[in-house]
């Protein structure tokens, strides 16, 4: 009897097990991926970010993240990108509190900031910090206020001299220069810098942005906040450095010569009214019927994101480089086209085009190009700085934007910090440093020589 | 275009048959009894006439008689409630003009095909 | 009818719903397999150029039914997903690395709801490394659509039901019931109950009919009582006069004058008798006239009832033929129902008129020389299609040497049709019906045999009564108000024949009727003089 009972119980138990196995709908097991890299020499790098509504809390949060990774060491160089939702004076002040021994470089970013953790945009604002400490790198942060100097060129000159001084490397030429300037006179600033260090050093960065193109942008130079200034970092190192400065658009066949222009205004292309030519080239997609009125001014910034004009540079190897510039507005009375970069009469320009998918895919291709440029393998860099034109960022559907930093991270595999800018400066190999729009750029500093 | 005249003292039926004829593409005219019919017939000069046999006023016989005096010489389709014996059928056809007859209530299709046949 | 509608409607609804739901599900799954294909191909196309089809993938994730998509490395790490939070996560799943498309049930990692998972191979790795594309889809849209269909279906169904109910109520109230009342009244009156008052008070044609009937019976009553009075008076007068005469005769033996007065009296009596004769003749003529009135009246009825029927049929048919504009399938079906009911009504009216005419002796027959064999053969052919519906075969066995009879062919056909349709009704599926025609000395004998359930003996005569219906209620469809056999009987009797039924319960029945070889002459006499064209409204 007892045996029977036991067998019965066993049977029921087995049956229950079998049944529960049968009836369970398949679930997919999901676990967290592998954890990220540990901090090892020779370059100590750590990132932090925050989207807290309160500026001070935000700095706290971001700085704590940086510090927690650093442990007993402390960074000697900090990159700070923050949005204009925070009071920049407060933010920079608080950052200096946390890192009294560090040089601080950076500026305001449009709408959001990015790190290898993702895309950070808060209700009020967001900010990101990248701290670096390394025996193998010397950083020097310098800047100038354009309103105080005689010219933008002079400001550039002043800023680079200060930066080299602060790096303790007077008389030496840096391996690479990082730049964050106020929008408006970037070309002149570049000339000023090149007057000091020559045309062969890559100057990589972007113009600080705000959320509304109203001039609220700021630049950070150690403890100073400039509204119309320039902030530079001169980087001295033997470690591998890679950079890439790419527009990434497709080239169309429409091209012409600028026959009348002034500064950042194109009056005529091929002796025809600039806006009309541009309208023809774009089949009315950007301006359209509005061109028929003869009064007023219209902004075409968002539509022209997908139809930029390009400056054309041919290097000694006959490779043609296209540098995009962004048509900003059309004056309907004289049909002039205002762009976000300087143009010259006689210069040839070409129409480019693209879609958001193309722009987003750059977040992989450009970092990879930088790796290749520096000869750095994925995951073997120390840190990176990624600059992405705010206009192109806004052209990507909001839901897709978070993918961008993840794509960069996937390509380089190291911590990085990124900003959304209103103009980009970078080095085109065999051509030199140029200022353009709608570009994205990557700088990677490696771990080895 | 074939012309059809619809004669019936019942308004609903008259208008219904009229509508059916119109939809078939015929030119139509209506009359509400024998006298009305005889008054209108020469003006309209139809090819085919649908004639109800039970109407107030002139009897069908009288109508057919008086029709012989008129210029118009249409083919007549009688609409009736009863069925006829062979003898009666003969009598009817002797009255001249009468081409066919249909019993009520009729099928839409029957009416259309009878009119078509008569008109050709 | 309502219950049947409800049951059949629900069944149809349920079945179509189940079918639709599962086919919708299939469709959605198929559609998304295609989507997964497209996504995989776009990814494969751009992979080595480091170009991801973000736009395509965004469109896919925006599809209503799509819950998520993942691109998974061979080791299970999610490389890309619509939700950036999933990037880098590790999954453990049976179908990982599959080389063929797999569709399976699963549970959403986020919400726990039941989903369908489409697992599609992604050929972007090296040899031997199989990447996978996961597409999670929700079948909520199917559920939603199904619910919507249920609501729609039920709603529509209810609407149709209400319409059908209204139509049947309307018809019942305004037409069927009054006609039944009318028929009962007509029957009662024709059977001599002149006190009967038909209670229909509506102002329509039927009401007028009822009035006419009542007036007619009133008049008949008057005439009858007048007649009775006259004959009573007559009797009385005759009695009186006879008595007086006797008196006078006995008195006459006493006086000569008495003889003269006797002669005078006899003359008076004679005159009185002649007058009475005249009156009786007049009465006869009046009765004949009443007959005429009855038949005129039935003809008016016929016309009055046929006219609205024509209008209804005509217009409904026009709408159905889309002569007055396009109509939907549903509308067509609804109108079909109306048309069918109109036909039903028409049949009912025909039958009632027939039975009224038969019972009042005013039915008009059209006697013609008829070939019996052809007539029976034609009738059997017409009935074969209804028989086919129940897989019943009708056999016709007619003696070769059949004479020609002078009969009303239409009406006799009607009798045969009626008997055969009853036979079909009560026969089981797949059985046979035998139709026979034989000649004997004085008559032609027709017989229709079926193998149905038979008729109990006590009912075998009753079935020929007016309004008699077999209690199964099966009569409904065939325009039966229980009049078919009664009408058949009337027709056969008018032709001078007999009709009866033989049956054994459970074995079947045979219906017989005879037609005399010598044509019945007085059929026609009554009606020959009526010239249809010479009449004012009311001609036959």
Confidence of residue A22 (pLDDT cuts 50, 70, 90): very low
Q: Does C336 touch chain B (CB under 8 A)?
A: no
Domain range summary for chain A, segments of one domain joined by +: 43-246+362-446, 250-353
Identify the pLDDT of residue A439.
95
Q: Is C227 a residue whose pLDDT tops 90? A: no
Nearest by Cα to C121 from C145, C142, C105, C99: C99
Q: Does C75 touch chain A (CB under 8 A)?
A: no
Q: How far is Cα A148 from Cα A158, in angstroms, rounded to an integer?
A: 11
Q: Is A413 a residue whose pLDDT tops 50? A: yes
Least confident of A119-128, B104-113, C411-420, C463-472: C463-472
The residue of B9, B51, B80, B108 whose CB has the most chain C CBs within 10 angstroms, and thus the best one to mutate to test that interface, is B108
The residue of C204, C305, C314 whose CB has the most chain B CBs within 10 angstroms, and thus the best one to mutate to test that interface, is C314
Q: Is C482 a residue whose pLDDT tops 90? A: no
Name the domain boundary from C301, C328, C359. Answer: C359
Contact B107 C313 (CB under 8 A): yes
Q: How far is Cα A393 from Cα A302, in angstroms, rounded to an integer?
A: 11
Same-domain check for residues C408 and C323: no
Tokens standing for residue B13: 């039926």
C245-274 tens-digit pLDDT: 788 777 667 777 667 777 888 888 888 888
CA separation, residue C314 to residues A406, B86, C333, C341 (Å): 75, 28, 16, 14
Whether residue B105 is preceded by a cis peptide bond, meaning omega within 30 degrees of 0, is yes
Structural domain span for residue B39: 3-119
Cβ atoms C279, C287 nearer than 8 A: no
Name the domain boundary from C84, C116, C138. Answer: C138
Search chain C and give the residue with CA nearest B25. Answer: C323
Query: Which phi and psi (to 5°) does residue A96 adopt?
Result: -60, -35
Give the pLDDT mean for A304-332: 92
- DSSP helix/strand/coil, A412: helix
Task: Find tokens 């990624």 and name the residue.
Answer: A386
> Min CA distance, C365 vs chain B (Å)?
9
Give the pLDDT mean for A275-303: 89
Q: Does C45 touch chain A (CB under 8 A)?
A: no
- Three state DSSP letters for A324-339: EECEEEEECCCCEEEE
- Is residue C426 assigned to a domain? yes
Q: Is C524 a residue whose pLDDT tops 50? A: no
Q: Report the DSSP beta bridge partners of residue A269.
A: A258, A272
> Min CA distance, C139 vs chain A (Å)?
15
CB atoms within 10 A of CB C240: 11
User: How confident is the prediction for chain C on average, in pLDDT?
Assistant: 81
Cβ atoms B66, B60 nearer than 8 A: no
**Which of B16, B60, B81 is closest, CB to CB, to C303?**
B81
- Overall number of domains in chain C: 3
C24-72 tens-digit pLDDT: 788 888 888 888 888 888 898 888 778 899 998 998 888 888 888 999 9
**Burial class, A25, CB count within 10 angstroms (exposed 0-12 / middle 13-18 / buried 19+):** exposed
Structural domain span for residue C390: 364-534
Per CB-CB distance under 8 Å, the chain C contacts of A21 are none
- The domain that holds B87 is classified in CATH as 3.40.50.2300
Q: Is C480 a residue whose pLDDT tops 70? A: no
- Among residues 100-159 of chain A, which lie with CB inside 8 Å of chain C? 118-119
Give the pLDDT mean for C490-518: 89
Q: Does B4 touch chain C (CB under 8 A)?
A: no
The pairing of strands C499-504 and C508-516 is antiparallel
Cβ atoms A93, A124 nearer than 8 A: no
Q: What is the DSSP string of C70-96?
A: EEE-TTSBEEEESSGGGTT-EEE-TTT
Give the pLDDT mean for A240-255: 93
Q: Does B50 touch chain C (CB under 8 A)?
A: no
Alpha carbon of residue C187 to chain centroid: 24
Cβ atoms A392, A438 nearer than 8 A: yes
The residue of C307, C362, C363 whose CB has the most chain B CBs within 10 angstroms, and thus the best one to mutate to test that interface, is C307
Search chain C and give the residue with CA nearest B64. Answer: C533
Least confident of C33-47, C194-208, C428-442: C194-208
A362-397 tens-digit pLDDT: 999 999 999 999 999 998 889 999 999 999 999 999
Per CB-CB distance under 8 Å, the chain C contacts of A361 are 50-52, 54
**Proportion of chain C above pLDDT 90, given as a percent:** 12
Identify the pLDDT of residue C195.
72
Search chain C and give the residue with CA nearest A366. Answer: C50
Below-70 pLDDT ranges, chain B? 83-86
Q: Rounded to the nearest 10 degrees, what angle do helices C329-360 and C140-171 cross at?
A: 20
Tokens standing for residue C531: 């010239």
CB-based touch C/A (3+ pairs, under 8 A): yes
Identify the pLDDT of residue C527.
40
Same-domain check for residues C242 and C113: no
Give the B:C interface size as CB pairs under 8 Å.
81
Q: How far is Cα C55 from Cα A367, in angstroms, rounded to an integer?
A: 21
Cβ atoms A91, A127 nearer than 8 A: yes
Q: Rounded to the nearest 10 degrees, what angle do helices C2-47 and C140-171 cross at?
A: 160
Give the pLDDT mean for A265-281: 93
Give the pLDDT mean for C486-512: 89
Per CB-CB distance under 8 Å, the chain B contacts of C353 are none
- The domain that holds C10 is classified in CATH as 3.30.450.20
- Is residue C170 assigned to a domain? no
Q: DSSP label at A25?
A: P
Q: Does B20 touch chain C (CB under 8 A)?
A: yes
A222-243 tens-digit pLDDT: 999 999 999 999 999 999 999 9
Q: Is A406 a residue whose pLDDT tops 80? A: yes
Q: How far is Cα C437 from Cα C449, in angstroms, rounded to an integer?
A: 12
Identify the pLDDT of residue C299.
74
Give the pLDDT mean for C81-86: 88
- DSSP helix/strand/coil, A99: coil
Cβ atoms A232, A193 nearer than 8 A: yes
> Min CA distance, C357 vs chain B (Å)?
14
CB-based touch C/B (3+ pairs, under 8 A): yes
Instruction: Check residues C3 and A220 and name the one with the higher pLDDT.
Output: A220
Identify the pLDDT of residue B8.
92
Contact C88 A402 (CB under 8 A): no
Same-domain check for residues C517 and C403: yes
Search chain B and give the residue with CA nearest C408. Answer: B85
Name the domain boundary from C342, C359, C376. Answer: C359
Q: What is the DSSP string of C129-185?
A: --EEEEEEE--HHHHHHHHHHHHHHHHHHHHHHHHHHHHHHHHIIIIIHHHHHHHHH
Instruction: Check residues C303 and C371 and name the one with the higher pLDDT.
Output: C371
Alpha carbon of residue C435 to chain centroid: 26
Q: DSSP label at A107?
A: E
> Min CA distance, A358 vs chain C (Å)?
8
Tokens standing for residue A427: 């080095």
Q: Does A259 touch chain C (CB under 8 A)?
A: no
Contact C89 A30 (CB under 8 A): yes
C5-15 tens-digit pLDDT: 678 777 887 78
Same-domain check for residues C239 and C303: yes
Q: DSSP label at A291?
A: G
**Proportion of chain C above pLDDT 70, given as a percent:** 91
Per CB-CB distance under 8 Å, the chain B contacts of C364 are 82
Q: Does C537 touch chain B (CB under 8 A)?
A: yes
The pairing of strands C114-122 and C102-107 is antiparallel
Task: Find tokens 């950076």 and name the residue.
Answer: A106
- Sequence-ordered strand ranges (E) for A199-347: 203-207, 219-221, 224-226, 229-237, 241-246, 250-262, 265-269, 272-273, 297-299, 309-314, 320-325, 327-331, 336-339
Tell me the longest C-alpha to C-alpha distance in chain A. Answer: 109
- Among residues 71-110 of chain B, which lie with CB inside 8 Å of chain C? 81-86, 88, 91, 95, 104-109
Same-domain check for residues C349 and C371: no
Nearest by Cα to B78 from B48, B56, B109: B48
> Min CA distance, C312 vs chain B (Å)?
9
Contact C532 B88 (CB under 8 A): yes
Search chain A and give the residue with CA nearest C106. Answer: A26
> Min CA distance, C19 vs chain A (Å)?
24
Q: DSSP label at B23?
A: H
> Min CA distance, B85 vs chain C (Å)?
6
Least confident of C249-253, C484-488, C492-496, C507-511: C249-253
Identify the pLDDT of residue C271.
85
- Is residue C154 assigned to a domain? no
Nearest by Cα to C10 from C136, C220, C153: C153
Q: Does B113 touch chain C (CB under 8 A)?
A: no
Across A339-361, b (16+ Cβ under 10 Å) vs e yields bbbbbeeeeebbbbbbebbbbbb
Q: Does A29 touch chain C (CB under 8 A)?
A: yes
C140-161 tens-digit pLDDT: 776 777 788 778 877 887 888 7
Chains contacting chain B through 3 or more C-beta pairs under 8 A = C
Q: DSSP label at C37?
A: H
Tokens standing for residue C292: 């005429």
Identify the pLDDT of residue C538.
42
Search chain A and give the residue with CA nearest C114. Answer: A25
Q: Does A360 touch chain C (CB under 8 A)?
A: yes
Q: Does B58 touch chain C (CB under 8 A)?
A: no
Confidence of residue C536 (pLDDT cuts 50, 70, 90): very low
**Burial class, A141, CB count within 10 angstroms (exposed 0-12 / middle 13-18 / buried 19+):** buried
- DSSP helix/strand/coil, B100: strand
- Is residue C148 assigned to a domain? no
Alpha carbon of residue C437 to chain centroid: 31
CB-based touch A/B (3+ pairs, under 8 A): no
Q: How far is Cα C401 from Cα C405, in angstroms, rounded to an integer?
A: 12
Q: How far is Cα C303 from Cα C208, in angstroms, rounded to an integer?
A: 13
Identify the pLDDT of residue A24.
46
The residue of C295, C306, C344 whose CB has the most chain B CBs within 10 angstroms, and thus the best one to mutate to test that interface, is C306
Q: How far is Cα A340 from Cα A327, in angstroms, rounded to an integer?
A: 7
Identify the pLDDT of residue C478.
44
Q: Does A397 touch chain C (CB under 8 A)?
A: yes
Contact B20 C539 (CB under 8 A): no
- Overall number of domains in chain B: 1
Q: Does C328 touch chain B (CB under 8 A)?
A: no
Least confident of A118-122, A418-422, C175-179, C279-283: C175-179
Same-domain check for residues C349 and C373: no
Contact B10 C307 (CB under 8 A): yes
Query: Alpha helix (H) ranges present in A340-418?
Result: 356-374, 390-395, 403-412
Confidence of residue C99 (pLDDT cuts 50, 70, 90): confident
Search chain C and give the residue with CA nearest B13. Answer: C311
Confidence of residue A32 (pLDDT cuts 50, 70, 90): low
Identify the pLDDT of residue C539.
36
Identify the pLDDT of residue A31.
66
**Which of C52, C94, C106 is closest, CB to CB, to A25?**
C106
Cβ atoms A182, A208 nearer than 8 A: yes
Same-domain check for residues C340 and C230: yes
**Which of C309, C323, C366 is closest, CB to CB, to B105?**
C309
Q: Report the DSSP beta bridge partners of residue A235.
A: A139, A176
Tokens standing for residue C521: 């002459």
Identify the pLDDT of residue A392.
94
User: How confident is the prediction for chain A on average, in pLDDT?
Assistant: 90
Q: Is A427 a residue whose pLDDT tops 90? A: yes
**Which of B19, B81, B91 is closest, CB to CB, to C302?**
B81
Identify the pLDDT of residue C531.
38
Instruction: Check residues C202 and A406 and name the one with the higher pLDDT.
Output: A406
Per CB-CB distance under 8 Å, the chain C contacts of B84 are 366, 532
Give the pLDDT mean for C119-133: 85
CA separation, residue C296 to residues C40, C178, C214, C282, C364 (Å): 86, 20, 15, 20, 12
Q: Is C338 a residue whose pLDDT tops 60? A: yes
C286-299 tens-digit pLDDT: 777 777 777 777 77
Give the dihedral of Cα atoms A276, A281, A286, A289; nearest 10 deg.
Answer: 50
> Going by C-beta distance under 8 Å and a sequence separation of 6 or more, which residues neighbour residue A288?
A279
- Is residue C147 assigned to a domain? no
């Amino acid at each position: 009897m007892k045996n029977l009972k036991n067998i019965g119980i066993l049977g029921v138990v087995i049956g229950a097990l079998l049944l529960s196995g049968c009836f369970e709908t398949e679930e997919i097991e999901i676990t967290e991926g592998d954890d990220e890299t540990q901090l090892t020499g020779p370059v100590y790098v750590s990132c932090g970010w925050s989207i807290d509504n309160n500026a001070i809390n935000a700095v706290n949060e971001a700085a704590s993240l940086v510090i927690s990774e650093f442990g007993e060491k402390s960074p000697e160089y900090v990159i700070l990108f923050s949005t204009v939702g925070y009071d920049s004076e407060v933010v920079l002040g608080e950052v200096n509190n946390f890192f009294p021994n560090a040089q601080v470089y950076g500026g305001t970013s449009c709408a959001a900031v990015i790190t290898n953790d993702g895309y950070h945009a808060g209700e009020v604002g967001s900010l990101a910090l990248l701290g670096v400490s390394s025996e193998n790198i010397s950083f020097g942060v310098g800047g100038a206020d354009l309103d105080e100097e005689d010219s933008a060129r002079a400001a550039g000159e002043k800023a680079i001299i200060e930066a080299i001084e602060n790096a303790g490397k007077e008389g030496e030429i840096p391996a690479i220069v990082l730049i964050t300037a106020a929008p408006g006179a970037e070309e002149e600033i570049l000339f000023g810098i090149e007057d000091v260090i020559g045309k062969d050093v890559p100057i990589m960065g972007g113009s600080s942005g705000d959320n509304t193109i109203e001039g609220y942008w700021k630049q950070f130079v150690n403890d100073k906040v400039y509204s119309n200034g320039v902030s530079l970092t001169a980087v001295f190192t033997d470690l591998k450095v890679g950079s890439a400065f790419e527009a990434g658009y497709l080239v169309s066949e429409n091209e012409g010569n600028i026959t009348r222009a002034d500064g950042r205004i194109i009056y005529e292309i091929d002796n025809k009214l600039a806006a009309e030519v541009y309208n023809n080239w774009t089949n009315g997609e950007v301006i359209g019927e509005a061109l028929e009125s003869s009064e007023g001014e219209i902004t075409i910034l968002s539509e022209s994101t997908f139809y930029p004009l390009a400056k054309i540079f041919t290097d000694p190897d006959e490779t043609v480089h296209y540098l995009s510039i962004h048509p900003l507005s059309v004056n309907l009375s004289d049909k002039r086209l205002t762009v976000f970069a300087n143009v010259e009469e006689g210069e040839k320009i070409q129409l480019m085009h693209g879609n958001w998918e193309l722009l987003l895919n750059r977040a992989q291709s450009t970092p990879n190009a930088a790796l290749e440029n520096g000869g750095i393998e994925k995951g073997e860099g120390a840190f990176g700085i990624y600059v992405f034109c705010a206009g192109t960022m806004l052209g990507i559907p909001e839901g897709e934007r978070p993918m961008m930093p993840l794509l960069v991270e996937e390509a380089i595999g190291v911590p990085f910090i990124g900003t959304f800018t209103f103009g980009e400066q970078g080095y085109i190999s065999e051509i030199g440093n140029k200022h353009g729009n709608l570009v994205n750029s990557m700088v990677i500093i490696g771990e080895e020589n | 275009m074939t012309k059809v005249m619809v004669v019936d003292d019942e308004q609903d039926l008259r208008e219904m048959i009229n509508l059916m004829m119109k939809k078939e593409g015929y030119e139509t005219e209506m009359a509400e009894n024998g006298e009305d019919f005889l008054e209108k017939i020469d003006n309209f000069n139809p090819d085919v006439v649908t004639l109800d046999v039970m109407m107030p006023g002139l009897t069908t016989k009288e109508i057919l008689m008086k029709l012989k005096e008129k210029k118009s010489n249409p083919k007549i389709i009688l609409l009736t409630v009863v069925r006829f014996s062979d003898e009666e059928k003969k009598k009817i056809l002797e009255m001249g003009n009468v081409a066919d007859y249909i019993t009520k209530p009729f099928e839409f299709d029957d009416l259309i095909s009878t009119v078509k046949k008569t008109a050709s | 009818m309502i219950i049947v509608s409800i049951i059949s409607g629900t069944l149809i609804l349920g079945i179509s719903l189940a079918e639709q739901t599962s086919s919708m599900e299939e469709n959605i799954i198929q559609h998304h397999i295609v989507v997964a294909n497209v996504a995989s191909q776009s990814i494969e196309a751009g992979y080595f150029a480091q170009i991801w089809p973000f736009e395509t993938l965004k469109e896919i994730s925006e599809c209503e039914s799509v819950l998520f998509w993942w691109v998974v490395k061979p080791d299970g790490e999610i490389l890309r997903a619509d939700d950036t939070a999933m990037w880098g996560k590790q999954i453990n799943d049976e179908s990982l690395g599959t080389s063929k498309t797999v569709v399976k049930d699963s549970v959403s990692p986020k919400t726990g709801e039941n989903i369908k998972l489409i697992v599609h191979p992604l050929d972007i790795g090296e040899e031997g490394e199989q990447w996978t594309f996961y597409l999670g889809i929700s079948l909520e849209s199917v559920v939603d659509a199904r619910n919507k269909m249920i609501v729609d279906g039920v709603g529509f169904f209810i609407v149709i039901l209400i319409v059908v109910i209204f139509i049947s109520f309307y018809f019942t109230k305004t037409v069927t019931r009054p006609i039944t009342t009318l028929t009962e009244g007509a029957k009662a009156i024709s059977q001599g109950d002149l006190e009967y008052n038909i209670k229909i008070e509506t102002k329509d044609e039927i009401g007028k009919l009822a009035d006419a009937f009542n007036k007619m019976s009133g008049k008949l009553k008057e005439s009858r009582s007048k007649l009775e009075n006259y004959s009573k008076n007559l009797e009385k007068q005759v009695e009186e006069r006879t008595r007086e005469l006797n008196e006078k005769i006995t008195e006459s033996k006493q006086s000569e004058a008495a003889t003269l007065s006797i002669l005078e009296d006899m003359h008076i009596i004679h005159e009185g008798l002649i007058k009475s004769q005249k009156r009786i003749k007049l009465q006869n003529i009046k009765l004949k006239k009443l007959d005429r009135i009855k038949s005129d009246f039935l003809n008016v009825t016929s016309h009055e009832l046929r006219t609205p029927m024509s209008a209804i049929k005509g217009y409904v048919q026009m709408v159905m033929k889309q002569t007055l504009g396009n109509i939907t399938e549903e509308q067509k079906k609804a109108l079909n129902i109306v048309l069918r009911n109109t036909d039903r009504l028409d049949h009912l009216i025909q039958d009632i008129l027939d039975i009224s005419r038969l019972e009042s002796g005013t039915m008009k027959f059209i006697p013609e020389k008829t070939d019996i064999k052809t007539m029976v053969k034609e009738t059997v052919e017409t009935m074969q299609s209804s028989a086919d519906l129940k897989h019943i075969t009708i056999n016709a066995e007619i003696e070769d040497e059949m004479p020609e009879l002078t009969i009303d062919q239409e009406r006799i056909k009607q009798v045969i049709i009626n008997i055969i349709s009853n036979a079909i009704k009560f026969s089981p599926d797949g059985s046979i019906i035998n139709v026979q025609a034989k000649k004997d000395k004085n008559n032609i004998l027709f017989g229709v045999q079926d193998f149905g359930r038979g008729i109990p003996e006590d009912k075998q005569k009753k079935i020929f009564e007016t309004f008699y219906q077999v209690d199964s209620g099966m009569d409904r469809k065939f325009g039966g108000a229980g009049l078919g056999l009664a009408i058949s009987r009337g027709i056969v009797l008018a032709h001078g024949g007999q009709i009866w039924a033989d049956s054994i319960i459970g074995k079947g029945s045979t219906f017989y009727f005879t037609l005399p070889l010598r044509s019945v002459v007085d059929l026609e006499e009554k009606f020959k003089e009526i010239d249809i064209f010479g009449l004012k409204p009311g001609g036959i």
